[in-house]
Structure 1
């Protein structure tokens, strides 16, 4: 290639070469001012990103108007209808013509007023923005007015409700206050409207927002519900409810019963903070933060992260707190005008203020830490003394399969246990007096092992919200699992005690359920467990990322070579290069489906960037990855939706089943039979893999199966076998 390159020597070194003057230059484009309509729509798109942002502005305006009761009515997640009714001061009829013009407000007069702002809304953009992207109707009445006035707005101006009618406000009957009705939101911005996935997601965001203000705005009644739906989820809070009662109604009694009052005041930093935080008895799967700064609902990642770190020493691993904080900072220290939707604010001395709050939370938790409650069991020998062992209810289905929703159920009540007499023939090994001492100890791990685990598994947590699955095919597959449920087997798995691995080659483990001992094919058990995880967490998996990405073609060739060696003489009958190319094209063609529902990212160039993560602290065997990818071609039904999801989830579950390692070498005697056996050392890499795998099976996989696996009738066919029954043994000994 270098020989074909032509190098010009005509110009001395360092001399600029002139451009070709014969080529015409494009004419410079002139700068023009955008049309006012375009400007207004751009501004509206920045302020009203979703229905929940429009509602936030309307709620804040209503509270600013002195309202003591707010009613919110929603249809189609707020896209079809968003109506808020309040009993505030109302709007004067004379102010209606400029109500929806940009930057019209009763709360600011000069720019300097921003340094002492004490209200929610202040820029005069909310109603103006809404009027540019929706049909807006306002009905209002002041205390002095003899009637209410109704006005329609479009593009910031008064408009007539019907062609040919006057645009002037019309009198009508109505109570004091204001009713703002927003219809057909984003009707003239189709790209924004198409971006919303479902009405239920938007309604859930609206309920969350109303719940936040319902907790904070003491003395104000809140109501939020869907239009023409009296049975669905809604929010109803009376005006006289206290903050703790409001938390109980919005977030449940589990959180409200474990709250500690928080009061902080620091004159040095000019702050005052009141709130309620959960104590050490409460623990959820995710942090619930209600944060208000100068009575404005905001997000603050630094505050959230610092509070979580404070709770880390008080809660068990994986536990998260609930906290509501109302932080008041001197207005001159806060910049409220940094975000179009006012979702964030900036304030001076942020680190110092957060440290003061976290110190007070730590002190409050330390004072009440002694109140942590535990369930105890009597060990008295008197048979008349009743005892209760915490047991899971029998014949139950995990909530995720029962409802098809992967939401947090940490707030559900614990099952009631009924005291019963101690039956000698029903004693189980899991009594506290007969426990294995190893069950009380954490698995011993060296510093080197922990460092290796940290190197291999580095987790990055995202703020991705869970997606509710509405696909009928997935619901039907979940229903099939429920229909195949075996009640007794499910109860055994949910209350079992792990005994140990019996045979690594055949993947058999021993577990104890009640007074019975079972042998379990943990290969089958894991296959069913990961299939059910795939169903319950559908489209909400984590990701295992490859850096750098792996070439799909190379992986498929490795799998093809394995198949060729296993096929023997029949291998020559198949064109394996054609198989590899066909599977590669198939996977690239289905990349969008795999990325959206299964967290598998495949680039158009054929590089594998990620695969789904189904379980934390457990990594599937990457040696099985080539075979897994090759099987996605012929073993997945890509033509029918339900069959596609089912076969694909089965392949993923099979990929996640623990690998079968070769047997460890044992001591061997000499050929002569004399002397001691010769010890054959096992390969260090395989030994490390074996140790890690056995630890994962006992401390990760079986506890996970115990927590959420539905025992199906299919597992009875070779998956679980009873080998001992304590009651049966009693009968045998009685005969002797």
Structure 2
């Protein structure tokens, strides 16, 4: 029967139809032994993943041979040439014949030797694997040999240097030690070879690996260079100490901040020593040089544990440099767990890591007083003032305070008026120029006779300017901060950082608060440099509270109610208000049904709300506490019913990330200062049609309330207005300086530049 083009041989595969079913019956396939070359090439792909892995194996063999000098030569990232030369004990001529056969080694003789292994290599697979994927040549000389011997290997066997010659090793001139040349790495594995697109990246990995062993192997000289370059990429002398090696490889910035540590514990059978940076040094990525029983390995557990230690002393996203040499009883270590020996397993891992981290933490605490900060002594343009507030004087007083000027001293640079900015927040503000409410309501009383009746009485200060903070008592609890390991919260924090507007953030960080401009539209004025901005402080407070919620997630304080509040009653208040303002009949709902549905959701999730948000609800539906985001500021309690009601339909309870994001945004909206009605007109009563008389202008306002100046409603509004204005000036905007990351959305809709001092000077110059 003719064979179709799509048919393949039965032993290696079957023709399949479009639906994936074989065309022929599923007969069992025969099991055959793979060809040894296939087996060896598969093993080579597991052990030699990249040129740096071949270098690591060869460099470890050189150190095992007792070398005091290791030289590395690289061409095209090690893919074209990788040459390692050492001055170790060398290899005997008789052993060259089986040098590149699998599982030939001088390190162990039985499996039990693995429990006391003290060398880098032990399996005898490195040279065998390299010979199956590259052209390998070895030149070696022992101390008792008169000549050096050179041999060439391919697929684990001796091969002649040129066709027609004998494969036996050839005598040649050479020095004591061994030189191994690896050429055309992965020449017979084209897929692996094409994966290395940038030889420079592979060379950087090689430099990093050589540098790690150069730091650890004290007494051994290391050098690494590119083929054809006159200089070396790395050169370490054999006499260099560990600190000097770190300085040459990682720079003086690291070495100047190093602290040495050493600890041991017989119970767990380990001894650890090394160097770590103090709190003055931090970078974006952790540098961990980890050696376990002198083997360069990687450990995610150790790295994360050390980063948690430094998280308490370094700035956000700051990372340390740590060199850790960990020696463990070989009987407790399993070295045969990874093909490239990149990882090891050992007993009592958690206890050993905890002991090392506690020791590093104590060392950091001892030197914490040496932290260095860059500061500026005097702000530019400021004048010296004495304790009485007088400016720098002249004459004898000034002569007593200042030494005689040096004739060689430089003259003070001229200050342009259009560059002067206000830097002292205690100076007179724009709000002090506004007329007081009392002065605008009635004429000033006449001065008593005989007491200077011809003088104009001094204007009284606005009562809003003298508003004091709320009288709130706080209780401190002994609860350790809970580190947040939730991926969803980390992603939300990253989204805020990605949306940051750097110029606006810097403007907030160095701004000067001018005053509240419009309470109805929640506008405030700030000065940034020589510019004046109008800020929607409602929008800014929302962004700030949302970011505080992400930063302090799981560690909120609590505002407790005594007695507790009825959750369903609060929800009913909010639902009734929502029902009253519904304009479309299609949006109508049953108040009791909505209240019960939202209450059931909150009671069902009360454990999660308490753990993450400090929102405590009893199983019977009593509200015990709500989150405390900002100390010194009480959120508007009149917004509490609406906040609780919105937690039902506006929070996505089905997805973790969306749940946390929507909840924190609702919490931020709750904390934003409410919009208050304007002050009572001079007539004393709210006029019909005015903002005070409009229903719903302020949440909590009821019908028929007395809005006269002596009425309780006015007194409550006046008190709340004082507290809000004080919180805006003394709590929120100072907090914006240190913690607010201004986003691009805030730049678009929350801030407006209204004046530029330099621009105003140009206008005045034309007048």
TM-score grouping bracket, smaller chain normalisation: 0.5 to 0.7
Give the alignment of 1:578-593 within 5 angstroms: none
Paired with 1:495 and 1:141, the residues of 2 have a C-alpha distance of: 71
Give me the whole-angstrom Cα distance separating, in 1, the residues matched to 2:290 and 2:225.
24
1:419 Cα deviation after fit: 11
Stretches of structure 2 that go unaligned for 5 or more consecutive residues are: 1-22, 386-408, 430-480, 493-501, 537-659, 666-673, 679-685, 700-731
- State the number of aligned residues: 488
State the 1:176 CA deviation: 1.7
Counterparts in 2 of 1:192 and 1:492: CA distance versus 1, 3 Å? closer
Alignment gaps of 5+ in structure 1: 1-22, 385-417, 437-449, 462-488, 523-616, 623-663, 683-691, 706-714
Contact 2:511 2:528 in 1 (8 A): no
Within a 5 Å distance, the mapping from 1:29-428 to structure 2 comes to 29-230=29-230, 234-378=233-377, 428=421
Pairwise CA distance, 1:303: 1.0
How far is the alpha carbon of 1:245 from its aligned partner? 1.2
Aligned to 1:458: 489
Which residue in 1 is equivalent to 2:756? Answer: 723
Q: 1:673 to 1:91 in 2, by over 3 A?
A: closer
Q: Structure 1 CA distance, aligned partners of 2:253 and 2:289? A: 16
Q: Output the CA distance in 2 between the equivalents of 1:420 and 1:230.
A: 51
Aligned residue in 2 for 1:517 = 531
Larger Rg: 2
CA distance in 1, matches of 2:356, 2:82: 37
| C-alpha distance 299-24 of structure 1, shift in aligned 2 (>3 A) | closer
Q: Secondary structure at the match of 1:102?
A: coil
Whether the 8 Å contact between 1:68 and 1:219 is mirrored in structure 2 is: yes
Q: Distance in 2 between matches of 1:209 and 1:178?
A: 20
Matches of 1:173 and 1:298 in 2, distance apart? 37
Give the whole-Å Cα distance in 2 for the aligned partners of 1:141 and 1:39: 32
Contact 2:505 2:740 in 1 (8 A): no
Q: 1:675 to 1:295 in 2, by over 3 A?
A: closer
The separation in 1 between residues aligned to 2:171 and 2:283, in whole angstroms, is 52
- Measured after TM superposition, the shift of residue 98 of structure 1 is 0.9
Q: Provide Cα deviations, 1:115-174, integer angstroms capped at 9, x if missing partner.
A: 100010111110000000011111112222222221110000111122112211122222
Distance 1:519 1:247 in 2: 50
Is this contact kept in 2: 1:299–1:343, CA < 8 A? yes
CA distance in 1, matches of 2:215, 2:753: 50
In 1, Cα distance between equivalents of 2:134 and 2:142? 25
Task: Please report the TM-score for the alignment, with normalisation by the length of structure 2.
Answer: 0.55
Cα deviations across residues 242-281 of structure 1 (Å, max 9, x unaligned)? 1111111111111111111011121121111110011111
Rate the CA distance shift 1:318–1:142 in 2: closer, same or farther, 3 A.
same
In the aligned structure 1, how far is the partner of 2:367 from the partner of 2:318?
A: 18
Please report how far the alpha carbon of residue 343 of structure 1 lies from its aligned counterpart in structure 2 after TM superposition.
0.4
Alpha-carbon spacing, 1:235–1:427, altered in 2? closer, same or farther (3 Å): farther
1:379 shift after superposition: 5.3
Q: CA deviation at 1:316?
A: 2.1
CA shift in 2, pair 1:371/1:90, >3 Å: same
Deviations 1:58-91 (A, max 9, x none): 1100111111111111122111111111111111
Distance 1:208 1:178 in 2: 23
Partner of 2:322: helix, strand, or coil? strand
Does structure 1 conserve the Cα–Cα contact (< 8 Å) formed by 2:134 and 2:186?
yes
Identify the residue that residue 640 of structure 1 maps to in structure 2.
Answer: none
SS of 1:459's equivalent in the other structure is helix
Distance 2:63 2:485 in 1: 50
User: Deviation string for 1:682-713 (max 9, x for gaps)?
Assistant: 9xxxxxxxxx9x999995655999xxxxxxxx
Distance 1:52 1:454, change over 3 A: closer
Partner-residue secondary structure (3-state), 1:31: coil
Question: Could you say what secondary structure the match of 2:289 adopts?
Answer: strand
Compared CA separation, residues 455 and 120, structure 1 to 2 (3 A): closer
Matches of 2:291 and 2:68, distance apart in 1? 19
How high is the TM-score relative to the length of structure 1? Answer: 0.57
Distance, in Å, in 2 between the alignment partners of 1:434 and 1:257 is 44
Q: CA deviation at 1:312?
A: 1.8
Distance 1:41 1:295 in 2: 29
Alignment check: 8 A CA contact 2:510 2:737 kept: no
Q: 1:25 deviation in Å? A: 4.6
| 1:497, distance to aligned residue in structure 2 (A) | 3.1
